[in-house]
Structure 1
Amino acid sequence: MSKCPSVSNAERVTSLGKDWHRPCLKCAKCNKTLSPGSHAEHEGSPYCHNPCYGAMFGPKGFGRGGTESHAYK
């Protein structure tokens, strides 16, 4: 079980090959609660698609399509 010591069947969601309490499946960057199958993964950790995963691991700098190019920290 990932970060959730005793997950009952009613509370269990499975994502990234692990069992989680529904409220424990959160973005590793912003802590937003995620739904199984609707989030990104990087090195075994869950991330929300936007803005965290895209900003941290997506394309950077000029040529990305506009003035929204920035480094997310």
Structure 2
Amino acid sequence: MARVLLFGRLADVAGWRERQVDCISIRTLRDLLAAEDEALGQALAGKGIQVALDQAIVRGDASLTAKSEVAFLPPMSGG
């Protein structure tokens, strides 16, 4: 099972920060999370959300393994 991490407001929306999920790709993971929680699905589809797979930012879809770590990252702000 892949380790899934949510940061910032994404964790607030979901009500969890970390869990194990059995998925074959980032796309199916997003679909699964959206089906389970509509508000989280909308948040994950929002502008500026990035995905890190094993601590490297990825664009588009990618395959997952049982040892994968997927982190959903909200847009950062600072000043």
TM-score by length of 1: 0.23
**Structure number with larger C-alpha Rg:** 1
| Higher relative contact order, chain-length normalized (CA < 8 Å, sep 6+) | 2
